[in-house]
Amino acid sequence: MRKYTKDGKNQLELVICNQCGKKLLVEDHILKEGVCSIRVDWGYFSEKDGEIHRIDLCETCYDEWVQRFQVPVEREEETELLGV
């Protein structure tokens, strides 16, 4: 869950893990922790047609969640972060 300033600048103020309630580190309106952000735009053929759902999971909750998957998460290295 994210909260933004209401001063017209719409800057990030707070991020809370929807699963465990942990407040993630936000400094100077910048998120300084790993987070899994999910946005689902529900459409036709769903029970939630027209709804948009957003969640944020801290890294610990994300790891616990994906361990229960029957099909593992696809992984690849992001070389741009490594300065290559």
Could you list the residue range(s) of the whole structural domain that residue 68 is in? Answer: 2-73
Q: Does residue 78 lie in a domain region?
A: no
| Predicted confidence band of residue 80 (pLDDT cuts 50, 70, 90) | confident
Two structure tokens written together for 28: 């100077």
Residue 77 clears pLDDT 90, i.e. is over it? no
Show Cβ contacts of residue 49 under 8 Å, excluding neighbours closer than 6 positions: 42, 43
What span, in angstroms and rounded, lies between the C-alpha atoms of 45 and 61? 29
Q: Does residue 80 lie in a domain region?
A: no
**Number of C-alpha atoms within 13 angstroms, CB side, residue 72?**
3
pLDDT digit string (tens) for 8-38?
899 999 999 999 999 999 999 999 999 999 9
pLDDT digit string (tens) for 25-75?
999 999 999 999 999 999 999 999 999 999 999 999 999 999 999 999 999
Q: Does residue 13 lie in a domain region?
A: yes
Q: Does residue 10 lie in a domain region?
A: yes
Q: Does residue 7 lie in a domain region?
A: yes
